[in-house]
Amino acid sequence: MARPDGPLVVQSDLTLLLDVHNALADECRDSINAFTELIKSPEHLHTFRITQLSIWNARSTGMDEDGICATLDSYSRFPIPSAVEYFIRDNCRRYGAVRFQALDDGHFRLSCQDAYHRRLLESQAQVKGYLGHPDGDGFIVGMMARGPLKTALVKAGLGVEDLVPLSDGQHLDIKLRNTTRSGRPFMVRPYQEAAFKAFWAEGRPGGGHGTVVMPCGSGKTIVGILAMARLAVTTLILTPNVASAHQWIREILDKTGLDEDLIGEYGAGDAKQVRPVTVCTYSMLTWRPDKEAEFGHFKALASQDWGLVIYDEVHLLPAPVFRFSSAIQSRRRLGLTATLVREDGREDEVFSLVGPKRFDIPWSELEKQGWIATAWCHELRIQMDESLRLDYATASGMAKARIAAMNPAKKAVVRALLEKHEGEHILIIGQYIEQLEELAKDFGFPLITGRMANKKREELYEAFRKGDEKVLIVSKVANFAIDLPDASVLIQVSGGFGSRQEEAQRLGRILRPKERDSNFYTLVSKYSKEEDFSLNRQKFLSAQGYQYSVEDWQ
């Protein structure tokens, strides 16, 4: 029954508004996370949304329609709109109309609730090609078809229930340390523990595969290491780049009692070590000599008896990795990301192949608790001189974006910000190498790009961590999974055409908790496409709860 003092307002358009100042707000958020998606979390009201996928996510963890509706009713300030209750109950009943079950010979049986759903499968073009031979009310499906068929079913609006047990993999004794090897006290934070519990779901059917969404700088790596230790199994870790692979190895050695010879890096050249814990980059996994060749490393890694596969920055998965994920559906799978936003709209494939979202916590909530740094976002709008405006006016398409991004007037702004934040750890980041090379030449700071050898990159990152280098100029290679805990200022001279995903990752470079507040500056050419791109990024950051100021540069 609705309660006048409730923290939640449930609206007919399937959105939920949570009053964060209400005494029951935290309790309510924890309860509705299982069947909603967090859309935005500014200062006063957080917005959640109920979707078909979010309902199926809840059903996969054992929640039913009565439980979902009762939860909403217990926190809602007003009666639940009848259309919302209908949507919940209807989609709860749709889940499980099609089910995967294991057969003894390694094949699977896709069973249908009734003749209607069987005929529906046969009529769906994207599904039909994966169906094996008919078998009563269902179909016998080959092992390799399980992953792509799950994806096709979700895209077709059919909530498949996967009842095939996950493999236990090989046992590996992994103990967490109380004190790191570097001598610092170590303990798992409460929200990291909650994230693991949501993923694991006490080992119930439906648990052990899914995605954890946490802000950059909040310790997603620790959630992965916690899962490794609690499950005590051999683990494959997939990362976006070599620097992040090395960071995982350092963190595992620092936070656990694992011997170094039990951890392998499956990398370029002769460094293809398959060990009980193996770390590999997405680019290595998807390497092949030409477009017609097989992915040479798929078999070597997919054939191992892993107990857990961790996808770092899961939102970045390239298409071939979705194919790899299809081949390992019998393994426990943990996706880690700061945002499930994909500019290509393939979030549903992450849902079906890696697993549904299990845990999501607002950035602003962790900032309020002091687990990540307080950050201030500033957009500085900069004039283009007359000749540049004329060039811009006569250019077309991508040329306009490049002219605006490369505005020479940005250099003076960078100089002023460097003077303002002298002594702090500063990152200058941009999209165009030519622009960054010019800044490096003018200011004399090291420049890190994708062309630089990994060894040299890591030396510069380490010099930055130690304070030997206070300013680094970096290309988009530093967008992801780089641990630079003392960075407190980021100056973005150009960006990736309004990418929300990129904005989240770049902000994440300065969110490690520290004594001083962090500042994120975006330099935007006035009256140009950059203003449109920036508005898209601005709305995303504001939705996460960050104060975002816009001002003309004088």
385 φ, ψ to 5°?
-70, 170
H-type alpha helices, 168-272: 190-200, 220-231, 242-255
Can 190-361 and 368-552 be said to share one CATH topology? yes
Please name the residue that has the structure tokens 């590999």. Answer: 280
Domain extents in the chain: 8-94, 98-162, 190-361, 368-552
pLDDT in tens, 142-172: 777 777 888 888 778 787 888 878 888 999 9
Please name the residue that has the structure tokens 């304070």. Answer: 467
Q: Quickly state the pLDDT bin for 24 (edges 50, 70, 90).
A: very high
The CATH class of the 190-361 domain is alpha beta
Q: Nearest to residue 275, comparing CAs of 264, 259, 266?
A: 264
Q: Quick one: CATH architecture of 368-552?
A: 3-Layer(aba) Sandwich (3.40)
Flag whether pLDDT at 239 surpasses 80.
yes
User: At 10, which amino acid appears?
Assistant: V
Please name the residue that has the structure tokens 């009256």. Answer: 527
Flag whether pLDDT at 421 surpasses 60.
yes
pLDDT in tens, 336-379: 988 776 656 666 777 777 888 888 887 778 888 888 888 888 99
Structure tokens at 418: 């460097």
Give the pTM: 0.79
Strand partners, 333: 209, 309
pLDDT in tens, 276-322: 999 998 888 877 777 777 777 877 788 889 999 999 988 777 777 77
